[in-house]
Amino acid sequence: MGRLVVVSNRVAIPRREDSPSAGGLAVALKEVFSQRGGLWFGWSGQVVAGEAGDAKTVKRHNVDYTVFDLNEDAYRGYYVGHSNGVLWPLFHFRLGLLTYDRSQAEVYRQVNRDFARRLMPLLKPDDTIWVHDYQLIPLGSELRALGAKQRIGYFHHIPFPPYALFSALPDADQILHDLLSYDLVGVQSRRDLQGLVDCMNQGTGMQVPVDEKIRFRGRETSLEAHAIGIATQEFAETAAKASRGSETRRLVASLTGRELVIGVERLDYTKGLPERLKAFAALLSAYPEHRGNVTYLQVAAKSRDDIESYRDLRREIDRLAGTINGDYADPDWTPVRYVARALSRDCLAGFYRVARVGLVTPLRDGMNLVAKEYVAAQDPKNPGVLVLSRFAGAAEGMPEALQVNPLDPERMAAALHTALNMPLEERRERHGAMMRRLEANTVSDWAKSFLHSLEGEKADQSSEPLE
Ligand code: ADQ
């Protein structure tokens, strides 16, 4: 079996001493990389004035990390402009936030072409290439145009809307044809798969048969749902240990016996933060018995603050948190504690474990790993309750969570009230069922199942070049 070549927008080269518990894709790929070696290729995260120089490669264990810088124009057009300003809101159903600019769309394509030009000479004939996320959708077709014949898969980490919405993008059909350069296109959930199939049916004029394989220009592209997971056992152990650590103990002491409700995310308009604050206010208004007895801790790491809609969001959350505290606080109780920065993984794991309720209510989310981390972090003997948006991909695999519509503050408040009053036996049952599923579908199972589909069944068919 050949090497695995992973391409993602941004690549963090691990320091020698880093443990894989740093999270995300690195954990998912650890086992695969250790078995067969590989290359991880992408942007360094650095932006330079003038021309971006050559890529550089750093070897860690048996993985080559090859990264390159972007110049200012590429960063503005490809990353800030088209990826974050157009594709991110589009795929999250937020047409009103789209700021389409044709010249930025062209830079997006040009940077994808540049990724392909830099990657091509590094490839070996028996490599398997796995491309990640919406910043790199055209990469497959740019590699094919340069003659790449390897198997190439693409995983879409964020939602996939139906064509009625997707077609608002001026280059929508081009993007769909780009996806057909891959051997496998993976999405997170059945709902996203429906969206993707609907887009293919309507946008390409081809009928996707029931087995969700689509044949185009001599290449067969499979469309599949593969739900990403977490490193469940490892996270559970981290949480158990961290809950005895000084940060969690300080938090618990500061609560002076009050129940904790926790929310954790990047500060992003897809995560439903203002709606959640409104629901918490509705709880305090409709169920006064919780006043003085519940504290809501919201941790929201700053993100993409070079985009106006993110700065507006920050202001709105500041205002809402201030209003709720002004309306309901007592001299010795602050209802909302708001931390606008990233906390360490260990610290978060400990906080999740001592929170009676995990409040995960995005307006749209491909999966949402916080929901899974919250459940994995619980003490099985006395677990907390997950209140989860039905619009997160995670909802499909977590029917035992209290599922809510984040746009309905009164019902969210009712669900929070139910969560805060849920008897121990019911909490255990719901938690046990979710935990069994999280253990059966970890992040490394996800990587293996995607690669199995990409390489397994079809590895004996030689892929044909594009016409
Ligand atoms: P994200 O939108 O970043 O990911 P999510 O799935 O929740 O969202 O992952 C966030 C990760 O960052 C989690 O591991 C979480 O613990 C961590 N994190 C969040 N806020 C933090 C904070 N304030 N401090 C420290 N750590 C924090 C995208 C898609 C998701 C999809 C993932 C993976 O938008 O839908 O689940 O990719 O495919």
Q: How far is it, in rounded angstroms, from Cα 404 to Cα 413?
A: 10
Give the C-alpha separation, 280 to 268, whole Å. 19
pLDDT tens figures, 246-294? 999 999 999 999 999 999 999 999 999 999 999 999 999 999 999 999 9
- 157 in active site: yes
What confidence score (pLDDT) does residue 461 get? 42
In the block, which residue shows the tokens 């996806």? 179
Whole-angstrom distance, CA of residue 135 vs CA of residue 11: 13
pLDDT attached to residue 427? 98
Active-site entry in 268, 365, 431, 445: 365
Closest C-alpha among 419, 398, 152 to residue 260: 419
On the CB side of 6, CA atoms within 13 Å amount to 25
Residue 376's pLDDT is: 98
Confidence of residue 370 (pLDDT cuts 50, 70, 90): very high
* Element housing 327 (H / E): helix 308-328
Cα 216 to Cα 431: distance, rounded to the nearest angstrom: 44
Which pLDDT tens digit goes with each residue over 377-424? 999 999 999 999 999 999 999 999 999 999 999 999 999 999 999 999
Tell me if residue 92 is catalytic. Answer: no
Predicted local confidence at residue 23, as pLDDT: 57
Which residue among 262, 367, 372, 438 has the greatest number of ligand 1 atoms within 8 angstroms of its CB, and so is best to mutate?
367
Question: Which of 2-16, 136-150, 151-165, 340-354 is predicted least confidently?
Answer: 2-16
CA-to-CA distance for 74 and 52, rounded, in angstroms?
Answer: 10
Q: What's the CA gap between 279 and 297, in Å, rounded?
A: 14
Residue 216: predicted pLDDT: 79
Residue with tokens 């936030």: 97
- Residue 22 — pLDDT band, cuts 50, 70, 90? low
Distance in Å, CA 344 to ligand 1 centroid:
13
Query: How many other C-beta atoms lie within 10 A of the C-beta of residue 153?
Result: 24
User: How far apart are the CA of 77 and the centre of ligand 1, in A?
Assistant: 24
How confident is the model over 15-34, as a mean pLDDT? 73
Mean pLDDT, rounded, for 142-161 = 98
Comparing CA positions, the residue from 106, 112, 91 lying closest to residue 181 is 112
Going from the Cα of 36 to the center of ligand 1, the distance in angstroms, rounded, reads: 28
Determine which one of 157, 226, 290, 431 is catalytic.
157
Output b/e per residue, 291-308; b: 16+ Cβ within 10 A: eeebbbbbbbeebbeebe
Express each pLDDT in 54-78 by its tens digit. 999 999 888 999 999 999 999 999 9
Phi, psi dihedrals of residue 30, rounded to the nearest 5°: -55, -50
DSSP β-bridge partners for residue 38: 4, 63
Q: What is the mean pLDDT of residues 162-180?
A: 97
User: Is the pLDDT at 463 greater than 50, yes or no?
Assistant: no
CB 186 within 8 A of CB 366: no
Whether the predicted pLDDT of 16 surpasses 90: no
Model confidence at 457, pLDDT cuts 50, 70, 90, reads: low
Instruction: Measure CA 91 to chain center.
Output: 12
Ranges of H-type helices in 378-423: 409-421
Looking at residue 19, its pLDDT comes to: 55
Instruction: Report the distance separating Cα 27 and Cα 235, nearest Å.
Output: 11
Q: Which is it for strands 184-187 and 151-155: parallel, antiparallel or unpaired? A: parallel
Report field, pTM of the whole predicted structure over 0.80: yes
Instruction: For the chain, give the number of residues.
Output: 467
Output the average pLDDT for the chain: 93
